[in-house]
């Protein structure tokens, strides 16, 4: 085992403990060594709680720390381009939260810099690294479902507080950027293809902010699909149903399978149900990211994939009659 990768985190976002700090505790190949936040006191409190050695006043100071190898960017989406590019230019690999950028143009710029610098840059679609999604892919690729006919994928959750960052257009808010991006990504990865947006219907909250977006697609060989991302539907649901000429697969909670998950499979007259490890998705993601940095592993949610993802999101917003970012 070599020297652990030293990670600096930008901000003290609500996602950071589960997405980075907890996985880092069980991974001997990393140490979270630095943090900055808009509020120095908040940054210090976060550092004290999580035993982070270096606390800086500004994000730029973290990026400039030559002892760091990796930058974790959980800032508002409006800040992803600026600070991801700065980190790459400073020689740091970047784990960037989703959604990757405000639009495909920004994503392309981030990808180009990653290619130019030869550094690892991924979009933190943590679900993609968990065994439940690997198994779903295996089932589809086996041909057990026959010719794929239709896919429904959704992530819905109750309305956030009016002050939530999700409710502000300028910072990249909206149900699709925060929730709907997941079922769009599931659809793209389970089919290994890029869906064509046919139509979309939005429910608008604050100006230009979608509370709910339902999108219909066409894919190869007559396959159709629908995704729903919502922050105004009651309760919680995260699932994907894949229907084919020979059967049906329901993937329950590929988003956070650490809180319970299963795949229900019906092929002909045979039905089965399978559950998977509750080791967190974020832990699998961090393992994969470290492998990419240390050993050159190619990751499925790299910056090239993020560009394709943002193109679908842009098309969905346009189809719903909304502004792209």
pLDDT tens digit string along 118-146? Answer: 999 999 999 999 999 999 999 999 999 99
pLDDT above 80 (res 7): yes
Q: Are 88 and 76 in contact, with CB atoms under 8 Å apart?
A: no
Residue % of the chain over a pLDDT of 70? 98
CATH number for the region 128-283+309-319 comes to 3.30.360.10
Q: Per the structure block, which two tokens stand in for 262?
A: 């299963």
Q: What is the pTM for the complete model shown?
A: 0.97
pLDDT tens digit string along 278-322? Answer: 999 999 999 999 999 999 999 999 999 999 999 999 999 999 999
Q: To 10 degrees, what angle do helices 131-142 and 181-191 make?
A: 40
2 vs 191, which has greater pLDDT? 191
* Chain mean pLDDT for the chain: 96
pLDDT tens digit string along 213-260? Answer: 999 999 999 999 999 999 999 899 999 999 999 999 999 999 999 999
One fold for 5-126 and 128-283+309-319 = no
Q: Are 88 and 114 in contact, with CB atoms under 8 Å apart?
A: yes
Alpha helix (H) residue ranges in 51-191: 59-64, 80-89, 104-117, 131-142, 175, 181-191
Domains of the chain: which residue ranges? Answer: 5-126, 128-283+309-319
Nearest to 12 by CA among 4, 3, 20: 20
pLDDT tens digit string along 43-73? Answer: 999 999 999 999 999 999 999 999 999 999 9
**Cis (ω within 30 of 0) for the bond into 99?**
yes
Predicted local distance difference test score (pLDDT) of residue 325: 74
The distance between the two most distant Cα atoms of the chain, rounded to a whole number of Å, is: 62
CATH architecture of 5-126: 3-Layer(aba) Sandwich (3.40)
Beta bridge partners of 217: 197, 225
């Amino acid at each position: 085992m070599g020297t652990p990768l030293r990670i600096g985190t930008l901000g003290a976002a609500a996602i950071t403990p589960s997405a980075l700090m907890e996985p880092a505790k069980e991974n001997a190949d990393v140490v979270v060594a630095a943090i900055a936040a808009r509020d120095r006191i908040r940054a210090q409190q976060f550092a004290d709680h999580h035993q982070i050695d270096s606390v800086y006043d500004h994000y730029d100071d973290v990026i400039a720390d030559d002892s760091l190898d990796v930058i974790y960017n959980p800032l508002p989406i409006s800040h992803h381009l600026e600070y991801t590019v700065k980190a790459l230019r400073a020689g740091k690999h970047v784990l960037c939260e989703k959604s990757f950028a405000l639009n495909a143009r920004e994503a392309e710029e981030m990808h180009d810099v990653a290619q130019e610098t030869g550094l690892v840059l991924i979009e933190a679609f943590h679900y993609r690294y968990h065994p439940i999604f690997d198994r779903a892919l295996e089932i589809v690729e086996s041909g057990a479902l026959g010719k794929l006919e239709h896919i429904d994928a959704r992530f819905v959750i109750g309305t956030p507080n009016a002050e939530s960052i999700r409710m502000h257009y300028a910072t990249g808010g909206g149900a699709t950027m925060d929730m709907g991006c997941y079922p769009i990504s599931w659809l793209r990865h389970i089919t290994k293809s890029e869906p064509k947006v046919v139509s979309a219907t939005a429910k608008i909250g604050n100006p230009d902010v979608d509370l709910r977006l339902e999108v219909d697609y066409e894919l190869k060989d007559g396959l159709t699909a629908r995704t729903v991302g919502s922050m105004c539907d009651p309760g919680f649901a995260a699932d994907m149903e894949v229907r084919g000429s020979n059967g049906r697969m329901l993937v329950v909670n590929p988003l956070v399978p650490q809180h319970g998950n299963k795949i229900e499979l019906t092929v002909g007259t045979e039905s089965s149900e399978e559950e998977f490890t509750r080791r967190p998705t974020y832990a699998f993601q961090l393992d994969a990211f470290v492998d990419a940095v240390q050993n050159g592993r190619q990751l499925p949610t790299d910056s090239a994939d993020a560009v394709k993802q943002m193109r679908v999101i842009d098309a969905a917003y346009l189809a719903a009659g909304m502004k792209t970012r």
